Structure 1
Amino acid sequence: MQTIACLGWGSLVWDARELPIRRGWFNDGPLAPVEFLRQSKDGRITLVIDAGGQPVRVLWALKDATSVEDARRALGAREGIPEKNWPKHVGAWQRSDGAPPAAMPTLNQWTQSCGLDGVVWTALPPKFGGQDGYRASADEVSAHLAGLEGRTREVAEQYVRNAPRQIDTPFRRRVEASLHWSPSED
């Protein structure tokens, strides 16, 4: 049986739902460039990998899975990603794959230090204004969030506030400064 980890930086950490993880989340994950760049159907701006962004230390949890593919299936289901899109929207890497993804160059050393065989993560692309792959500016993200109302605004604010404190990104600092949506207390 392989030892597989799931990386997290957003709602997986505080709302794992049916995602089969052991115990809880550890805060000493690898460095990954994540940013608030994906506009969800419900108006939230969620965290995704941003190849050009500043790396932050992400969180990780051990998966109850026998293989990387089992872990990928479980994460894809939790994220509501259609099965046909799992290969491109659910990242997976095993040490036997060789070089890690360009966005996470230290993944190999990190997995070795933790005694892991593989890792999975959500790999949805940026999206804004209905445009897949569009990387909005901090001004656009902040203006979008400021313009939300009612329950839509509450859900968007909850996502930003609940993101782990260590996910300290330029866009988060911008939203905190303009909307005063600081992290929730631990």
Structure 2
Amino acid sequence: MSKLTAILGWGSLIWDPKDLDYNKQLGWIYDGPNLPIEFARISKNGRLTLVITENGTFNKTFYTFANMKLTFEETIENLRKREGCNKKDIGFYKAETDEFHSEDFKYKEEIRNWSNEKKIKNIIWTDLPEKWSYKNENDETINVNPKERIEYLKNLTGEKKELAEEYIIKSPIEIQTLYRKQIEEELLWLPVVKENKKVRYFNPNEKNFFLYSHNLSGFGTLTCRNCNSKDEMHFSGRDFVSIQCQSCGSLELLKDNETISNCECGGKLEKDKPFFCRNCDSFKLSYNVKLLT
């Protein structure tokens, strides 16, 4: 079994990882264990967030791997800090000893079976429970009936409403729940498809196209196997690196040690990201070399 630690995700951990120390080159893989997920926790800033709950809809989750330099305990602490929660709220599974935290976790078989299938021995996840109360401006505790969660969202105002909507629409479109459907129908908070920062997910089952610095250079045609669109592209070499804007998809050739600034569109230029088709967002690309020097 792999000694790497897998981190499971289904919500903002994917689109807003903050200081999570994970394998950014690999990204998030949509092939995690099936777990019951629902918008069922009122956070400190008013958002209604996704958690594992027996009242949820079973969904395939996402996973990535923690930085391999971290110990298992350091990985747990890193996730805890990102989530701003207590250590007891980070769930984990150690396959070698068949140890779970918490001991009364209800979906052990789902985790255990997935661990065996993927040959991953260490797995961690955020295990916050449902929460249906919040403090109002007078520091009074207000309880919300779970059946009235849509009304709760409707009654939010100002920044809290903006943050709540952002969380809902940026949650991975693959995560489909009973209440997500109702929220979309009643509030028209629809999943983000394209905005300044496009939402895409790296699929490890596809042949994804990376470029790395080496001693050769040249140019060729980048062809999308999904929509057949084409781009002329230089590839890495001789102290240069080819990178792509993660928003508009434009291709840039920069010196390897050059400070990366934002694209003209305002989007991020990032190294070590798989290239995607800027017409349809697919990662299914092939590269035909025209000139090699």
Range of TM-score over shorter length: 0.7 to 0.9
Structure 2 partner of 1:3: 4
Contact persistence 2:44–2:134 (CA under 8 A): no
Match 2:162 to one of 150, 154, 163: 154
How far did 1:166 drift? 1.2
SS of the equivalent of 1:145 reads: helix
In structure 2, the residue corresponding to 1:106 is in which secondary structure?
A: helix
Deviation at 1:130, TM superposition (A): 3.5
Whole-Å Cα distance in 1 between the matches of residues 11 and 39 of structure 2? Answer: 10
Q: Give the CA deviation at 1:70.
A: 1.9
Runs of 5+ consecutive residues of structure 2 not aligned to the other structure: 136-142, 194-198, 200-293
| TM superposition shift of 1:63 | 0.7
The question of 1:34 aligning with 2:37 is answered yes
Distance change (3 Å), C-alpha of 1:77 and 1:164: same
- The two structures, once aligned, show a CA RMSD in angstroms of 2.1
Is 1:73 aligned to 2:67, yes or no?
no
CA distance in 1, matches of 2:73, 2:54: 24
The C-alpha deviation readout for 1:90-136, integer Å capped at 9, x for no partner, is: 001111242764225221221222231111111111111239xx895
- Indicate if the aligned counterparts of 1:72 and 1:120 stay in contact, CA closer than 8 A: yes
- Normalised to the residue count of structure 2, the TM-score between the two structures is 0.57
Which of the two has greater helix per residue? 1
Quote the Cα distance in structure 2 between the aligned partners of 1:104 and 1:136.
Answer: 29
Are 2:57 and 1:54 aligned?
A: yes
**Corresponding letter in the other structure for 1:18:** D
Percent of matched pairs sharing the same residue: 32
Residue aligning to 1:103:
107
Q: Who is 1:92 aligned against? A: 92
- TM-score when normalising by structure 1: 0.88
Q: Secondary structure at the residue paired with 1:153?
A: helix
State the Cα distance separating 1:46 from its structure 2 match. Answer: 0.5
Matching residue's letter, 2:91: G
Once residues 150 and 123 of structure 2 are traced to their aligned partners in structure 1, the CA distance between those partners, rounded to angstroms, is 32
Q: How does 1:113-152 map to 2 (within 5 A)?
A: 113-130=117-134, 136-137=145-146, 139-152=147-160
Provide the C-alpha distance between the structure 1 equivalents of 2:120 and 2:97, rounded to a whole number of angstroms: 13
Count of residue pairs the alignment pairs up: 179
Equivalent in the alignment of 1:182: 190
Residue pair 1:44, 1:155 contacting (<8 A) in 2 also: yes
Instruction: Provide, for residues 63-108 of structure 1, a one-character-per-residue CA deviation record: whole Å limited to 9, x for no partner.
Output: 1144332211110011112xxx31x200011112427642252212
Query: For the structure 1 residues 52 and 144, does the alpha-carbon distance in structure 2 shift closer, same or farther, using more than 3 Å as the test?
Result: closer
Structure exhibiting the larger radius of gyration computed from Cα positions: 2
Measured in 1, the distance between the counterparts of 2:152 and 2:97 equals 40
